[in-house]
Amino acid sequence: MQKQFKFVSIFLLLLMITAACSNNRNTDKVSDKEETQTETEKKENVELTISAAASLKEAMDVIGHTYQEEHPEVRLKFNFGASGSLQQQISQGAPIDLFFSAAEDKFDGLVEKGTIANEDGLDLLGNELVLIVPKADQSIKGFNNLVKKEVGKISIGTPETVPAGKYAKESLEKMDIWKKLESKIVYAKDVRQVLTYVETGNVDAGIVYKTDALVSDKVEIVASADPSTHTPIIYPVGIIKDSKQYETARDFYEYLQSDNALKVFEEYGFTSK
C-alpha cells in the first residue's frame, strides 16, 4: 500500500512539472509573438518628413512612390516650398528629417549652425534658368524684349527667400536691364507661383527653372539665361542631425543618389553634379 501511494505521488509530481513546463513554453511563445508584432508595428510606423524646393515636386513624387513600394514600412511626407522659407522652418525647430534645397547658401547656413553635419550632405543636382511666356503669346522673343513699353508685368520669385528669384535678379542685373524692369516685377512666394502667374496670363513673362517650365503645357520657353550671369544653380541635400529616424533618413538619402533616382531627375530636366 505504501509503495502504491509513493508511486501515485511521484506520478502526480511528474504530471505537475510537465504541465508547468508546457505553460512556460506557451508563455514564451506568446511573448515572442508579441515582441515580433511590436517590432513589425514599429517598422510600419516609420515616417520621414522631407522639406524640398518646390521645383523638385514632380521628380520627388515619382522617386518617393518607387521608394515606398520597395520599403512598405516607410511613409514619406513631403513639404515643398521656397528653400529660404524651408530653411527658416528647420532653424526654428520644425521636425524635419531631410532638407533638399535649391540653393547652396540656404543649405550651407544649416551646415554652419550644425543642423546638418558635413558628412551628411552633398551637392546632388543642377538646373537652368529660363524666360517663359504664355503659350498663346509669342511677342516676347528674349530677355531684351522685356524692356519694351508694351510688355507689362514680369514675375520672379522673391529674391530673399526664393533661390530662382535671386538668380533671376542677378541675371537681369548682369544684363544691365534690372533697373529698367524693377517697376514691372511681380514677386512670387515660390517658383511654382511664378509658373501659375504666367500660365493664367496674369503676367506677360516669368523667370523660372527649366524643370518647372517643362512640366507645363501652357507656357513656352523663349530664352535661357547665360549661366555666367548668375550664381551656379546647385541643389544640395542632407540629413538633419537631430532626426529621430536617422538610419531610415540615411537610407533614403543614399537612395536619392542611386542611378534609378538620378535617371528620374534627369527625365525632369535636372542635371547630375
The C-alpha atoms of residue 191 and residue 200 are separated, in whole angstroms, by 15
| Cα 66 to Cα 55: distance, rounded to the nearest angstrom | 19
111 known member of a binding site: no
Q: How would you class 69 by CB atoms within 10 Å of its CB: exposed for 0-12, middle for 13-18, buried for 19 or more?
A: exposed
Q: How many helices (H) and strands (E) would you count in the chain?
A: 10, 11
Q: Is 191 annotated as a binding residue?
A: yes
The cell 504530471 sits on which residue? 15
Query: Which cell numbers hold the place of 219?
Result: 507656357
One-letter amino acid at 197 equals Y
Residue among 127, 207, 212, 218 at smallest CA distance from 170: 207
Is residue 67 annotated as involved in ligand binding?
no
22 is in an annotated binding site: no
Q: Is 155 a known ligand-binding residue?
A: no
Residue numbering of the annotated binding site: 55, 83, 164, 191, 209
Residue numbering of the annotated binding site for molybdate: 55, 83, 164, 191, 209
